[in-house]
Amino acid sequence: MQEPDTRERILEAAYACVARWGLSKTSVEDVAKEAGLSRSTLYRYFPGGRDELIGSVVGWEHDRFFARLYEEVRDATSLEEVMEQGLMFAHRSIAEHEVLQRILLTEPELLLPQLTVKNAGTLNLIAAFLTPYLTRHPLAPGIQVDEAAEFLARMVLSYIAAAGRWDLDDPEQVARLVRAELLGGIVPPAR
């Protein structure tokens, strides 16, 4: 049981260092000191050194975000509800994430490639989550569930990153976005 705890401790320490100094100024030495471990112990868990550690801490925080998102939407009963709750939660969480906002402002060139590496997995994760809702939902003729799931996943990620003209803090606007635009092309109109 020691191993997962130590890895988690290193990731928490790395996150604290990134929060304090940013991505570019966080060193292996800083993280080892923050975690109360030797550098050699840190290298046992992250043999690729700093690059592997930074990639892992970005992935760790990414996974924590999606775990919180899942908790937020897991009781939703409809496709519309899961998308509306998910968009609002994700938008709010990203806007309020102080570390992410600071890094996007000061070091986007270091963070964005890390997120791009996770993008295919993120897209698949969201599409897989939406698939059961789509299978229970009537789709327009010619629309396949897997295509609709991928489309919605891409659109959700796009709107989370840049809401455009939509106020994702306003439940009425989010409902219109989901029902009229996101589902408008894949769900037959109500009769």
pLDDT per position as a tens digit, 166-177: 999 999 999 999
List CB contacts of 25: < 8 A, sequence separation 6 or more.
none
* Residue that is written with structure tokens 């709107």 in the block: 159
36: left (phi over 0), alpha (psi -120 to 50) or beta: left
- Counting runs of H as helices and runs of E as strands, what totals does the chain give? 9, 0
* 3-state secondary structure (DSSP) of residue 89: helix
pLDDT bin (cut points 50, 70, 90) of residue 120 is: confident
List CB contacts of 32: < 8 A, sequence separation 6 or more.
13, 38, 39, 41, 42
Domain ranges of the chain: 1-54, 75-186
- Higher-confidence residue of 104 and 154: namely 154
Q: Are 62 and 122 in contact (CB under 8 A)?
A: yes
Question: Could you report the per-residue pLDDT of 75-86, keeping only the tens digit for each?
Answer: 999 999 999 999
Q: What percent of the chain has pLDDT over 90?
A: 57
**In CATH terms, is domain 1-54 a member of 1.10.10.60?**
yes
Residue 46 clears pLDDT 90, i.e. is over it: yes
| Dist CA 110 CA 184 (whole Å) | 36
Residue 97's pLDDT is 84
Residue 42 clears pLDDT 90, i.e. is over it: yes
Q: Are 73 and 86 in contact (CB under 8 A)?
A: yes
Question: Could you report the per-residue pLDDT of 58-101, keeping only the tens digit for each?
Answer: 889 888 988 999 999 999 999 999 999 999 999 999 888 888 87
Distance of CA 105 to the CA centre of its chain: 18
Helix 2-21 to helix 98-106 angle (10° resolution) is 50
Residue 185 clears pLDDT 50, i.e. is over it: yes
For the whole prediction, is pTM greater than 0.95? no
Residue 167's pLDDT is 94
| Dist CA 119 CA 129 (whole Å) | 15
- Higher-confidence residue of 22 and 170: namely 170
Residue 117's pLDDT is 58
- Higher-confidence residue of 102 and 147: namely 147
Q: Are 187 and 138 in contact (CB under 8 A)?
A: yes
